[in-house]
Structure 1
Amino acid sequence: MTTALVAPDRPAHRDPNLLRWLAAYAASMAGDGVYYIALSWAAVQAGTPAQAGLVMSASALPRAVLMLGGGVIADRLGPRRVVIGSDAVRCAAVLAVAALLFVTGLGLWPLAALALVFGTVDAVFVPAVGALPARITDKAQLARVQGMRGLAYRFAVILGAPLGGLAVAFGGAVAAFGTAGLLIAVSIPLLISVRVRELPPDDRAADGTTTPWRDLAAGLHYIRRHRVLAPLMLAIALGDLGFTGPLNVGLTLLADERGWGAAGMGWVLAGFGVGAGTASTVLTVRGRLPHAGRSAGGSLVAGCVAIGALAYVPGVLAAVGIALLIGLLAGLSGVLCGALLQTHSDPACLGRVTAVSSLVSLGLAPLTMPLSAAAIGAWGTGPVFVVSAAVCGLGGVVALGVRDLRRAELPG
């Protein structure tokens, strides 16, 4: 269903239409969390550690290769239609594999095929999710929506991880995959009930008279010439590249080196989650922050100092405090960069804009994890964390050094 105008002048947190979308997003992300736990457990049970690693990484290649094309699809077909279709395919694939495992038992090939399907669907799902808010609410509400989306994601992570563990413990991979499929299924009727606005004729994406390749080239040209989006993409890319290694595989190796154990690492991750959730809460409550470009750049610079310091704290308690600070600063820069991306992009191009920004965070940045692990093995945690922090800090330098981005503001 479409309408020319959706909830004008209504605060985002009081808009039932927007809240339905957030509920659908949270259910879908919780299903994702359960799915990844089920996939990792089933892959380890069905094969060797090396084979399990290949299964777990199988989704990365199609996601990276197809992400830009997914942005074109989201803009041409409409983000709501693409998100509904993506969730329907993911739901069907997960439930089909659950049924197959129930009948035949564990096997690597069904798991690898499922991972490939998820990676392919993610390539269109992620850009469409990024483009959808601009079609649901007014531009003045997009910054608050970015904070609300961050909170919904944190809620999904908190719900999905233990739920996946419980499903595996009580019913194995079949129960876990079934639970993931049902959670994703919850999102579909909610998404169908969401109303979206039509774009004005002058702002619509390609109407079929141009080819997808021309749409993609036009989107990349639009980003490259935009005075805010071009440097913003670079700042986001540098921040993600510097952040991903230390806060994923690097933290695991650091915890092992310091003797913190799995429980200690869990507390550090919890501290990060609390900090990031706090940043999302601030933007949700305030609706906007002044000097958004300057604040995003300053948060990246300060966050890089905290990332470098994490490698040198001796105890768990201090590490939790540093992780909370990293989460707060990284979360603040993340929600501000996301809000700036939403509010400064033409709605007709948001799928392609989101695809470009997500290509680095979901396609390229994960490739730094094995490199970070190898570098830590060669030089230790301290130097690698410091180098990664410097890369992250360069994103802040870009944001503060480019005048148009530094002076960028959020509407409100």
Structure 2
Amino acid sequence: MTVTAPVRSERDTAGHPAHRDGNVLRWLAAYTASMIGDNVYYLALSWAAVRAGTPAQAGLVMTASAVPRALLMLGGGVIADRFGPRRVVIGSDTVRCAAVLAVAVLLFTTGPGLWPLAVLAVVFGTVDAVFMPAVGALPARVTSRDQLARVQGMRGLGIRFASVVGGPLGGLGVALGGAAAAFGLAALLIAVSVPLLVSVRMRELPADDKAATAGGTAWRDLVAGLRYIRHHRVLAPLMLAIALGDLGFVGPLNVGLALLADERGWGASGMGWVLAGFGVGAGAASLLLTVRGRVPHAGHVTAYACIAGSAAIGALAHAPNVAAAVGVALLVGLLAGLSGALCGALLQTQSDPAYLGRVTAVASLVSLGFAPLSMPLSAAAIGAWGTGPVFVVSALVCGLGGTVALGARDLRRAELPR
């Protein structure tokens, strides 16, 4: 698919805050529509898989996306840098829409079956490996560098909105017309993003960055990207800080929280309230960045927010009741949301645009490929030692990420552009 991007100069973005920039708002609308479609898709996939097979088979279908996504993510970053993130996102969304729509038609005409769901999951995961690095590289090409922190906040709000709206929409689709209708709705939402993205204007790469993406094999581009990250004084420690933060965060806030709620007798409703507290806190952090646009001393704030957030994670296991746990979870969401958004903004502003796809691919692989490995480990550890010690250890791992950020001088002193 060939898409010629309208060119946008630096002068076009000058004096336009991102939340008042029509170009950025079109990008945000496209991104949010695609994310809502993703949420509807995952609900429809899980429902259809449970109805068509055993719980074990449904679990295999739900995890079928993870393997190609993890294996191909770094290559997806090379593709995003070579062909441009906007073109790659448009092509990816087109393929995702077509695949989901094909399964919707198949389920409508022939009834449920595991094999089309498994194929869809693999296709979706494969395309995600290209889609996610391109999505991460796109903001730097639609706005000026001084607006990237605000854009990260807006992106966070879009993610929160999609997670709140996507589940009920998917449930409504299943209730009205089964999994086929829910898949059709997901395809429609993803399709909405394509014309919006076509209308988004892109900033042109500087001449030096164009040269960096020209020529060479894909393998050499990949090696060059990894070498670029390893030798970068800010990005290298930032990747390590992100990895440690995610490893310490993912386990307790996923499987650990469910086991904690069961252990304390809070029930599913209590767990839901705790998750809601986390979501409100994370949304507040995104709103703060959207309104302020820039946080002074970004490196210091990132490190301290990560360390404080890790202390809150450790405290969550010792909350005496649901109300206290909700308050602690709100604090965890606020601090984790702030540090996560600032990490994203620093990745955007510290990277040369020509390498952003590969930089985003490495960060996504760390967060989505390695960090989820902590979930079965957390579950096994909680079974052996209980929630309290495991949450404390997870907090220490998460806090170590903040310590790395404080210990790396260039990262500690990193600032967002004015």
Partner AA of 1:42 in structure 2? A
Amino acid at match of 1:236: I
Structure 2: how far apart are the matches of 1:386 and 1:108?
40
Q: Which residue of 2 aligns with 1:166?
A: 172
Report 1:283-322 matches (<5 A).
283-322=289-328
Question: Could you tell me how far apart the structure 1 residues matched to 2:109 and 2:238 are?
Answer: 50
What amino acid is the match of 2:90?
I
- Per the alignment, do residues 81 and 205 of structure 1 end up closer, same or farther by CA in structure 2, a change over 3 Å counting? farther
Deviation at 1:148, TM superposition (A): 0.8
Which position in structure 2 is the counterpart of 1:379?
A: 385
Q: By how many angstroms is 1:173 displaced?
A: 0.8
Alpha carbons of structure 1 residues 92 and 297: separation in structure 2 relative to 1, 3 Å: same
Corresponding residue of 1:2 = 6
Q: Does residue 18 of the first structure (1) align with residue 21 of the second (2)?
A: no
C-alpha contact (below 8 Å) 1:76/1:205 kept by paired residues: no
Counterpart in the other structure of 1:362: 368
Q: Which amino acid aligns with 1:127?
A: P
Distance 1:52 1:370 in 2: 18
The answer on 1:82 being equivalent to 2:88 is yes
TM-score, normalisation: structure 1 = 0.98
**Equivalent residue, structure 1, for 2:350:** 344
Deviates more, 1:259-268 or 1:332-341: 259-268
> Retained in 2: the 8 A contact 1:75–1:205?
no
The residue number in structure 2 matching 1:133 is: 139
Residue matched to 1:242? 248
Where structure 2 has 5 or more consecutive residues not aligned to the other structure, the ranges are none
Report the count of equivalent residues.
412
> Is the aligned partner of 1:71 residue 2:71?
no
SS in structure 1 of the partner of residue 13 of structure 2: coil
- State the match for 2:100 in structure 1: 94
Q: Report deviation, 1:215.
A: 0.5
- Distance, in Å, in 2 between the alignment partners of 1:311 and 1:183 is 38
Shift of 1:19: 0.4
CA distance in 2, matches of 1:372, 1:47: 28
After TM superposition, give the deviation of residue 314 of structure 1 in Å: 2.8
Establish whether residue 116 from structure 1 lines up as the match of residue 122 from structure 2: yes
Residue 190 of structure 2 aligns to a residue in which SS? helix
Letter in structure 2 aligned against 1:5: S
Give the Cα–Cα distance (whole angstroms) in 1 for the partners of residues 110 and 390 of structure 2.
45
1:7-44 alpha-carbon deviations (Å, 9 max, x no partner): 32111111111100000000000000011111111111
For residue 170 of structure 1, report the CA deviation from its aligned partner: 2.3
Answer whether contact 1:205 1:349 (CA < 8 A) is retained. no
Percent of residue pairs identical: 78
Contact map agreement 1:76 1:206 (CA 8 A) in 2: no
Please give the per-residue CA displacement for 1:87-125, whole angstroms capped at 9, x wherever unaligned: 011111111111111112111111111111111111111
Alignment RMSD (CA, Å): 1.1
Q: How much has 1:208 moved relative to structure 2?
A: 4.9
In the TM superposition, what is the alpha-carbon distance from 1:169 to its structure 2 partner?
A: 2.1
- Give the distance between the partners of 1:139 and 1:241, measured in 2 at CA: 29
Q: Which moved more, 1:393-402 or 1:193-202?
A: 193-202
> How far, CA to CA, are the matches of 1:376 and 1:278 in structure 2?
31
How far did residue 385 of structure 1 move?
Answer: 1.2
CA distance in 2 between partners of 1:252 and 1:101 (Å): 33
| Deviation of 1:355 (Å) | 0.4
1:107 aligns with 2:113: yes
Q: Secondary structure in 2 aligned to 1:325? A: helix
Q: Distance in 1 between matches of 2:300 and 2:223?
A: 30
Separation of aligned partners in 2, 1:283 and 1:209: 38
Instruction: Say if 2:226 is the partner of 1:220.
Output: yes
Which residue of structure 2 lines up, in the alignment, with residue 51 of structure 1?
57
User: Normalising by structure 2, what TM-score?
Assistant: 0.97
CA contact (8 A) 1:140 1:411 kept: yes
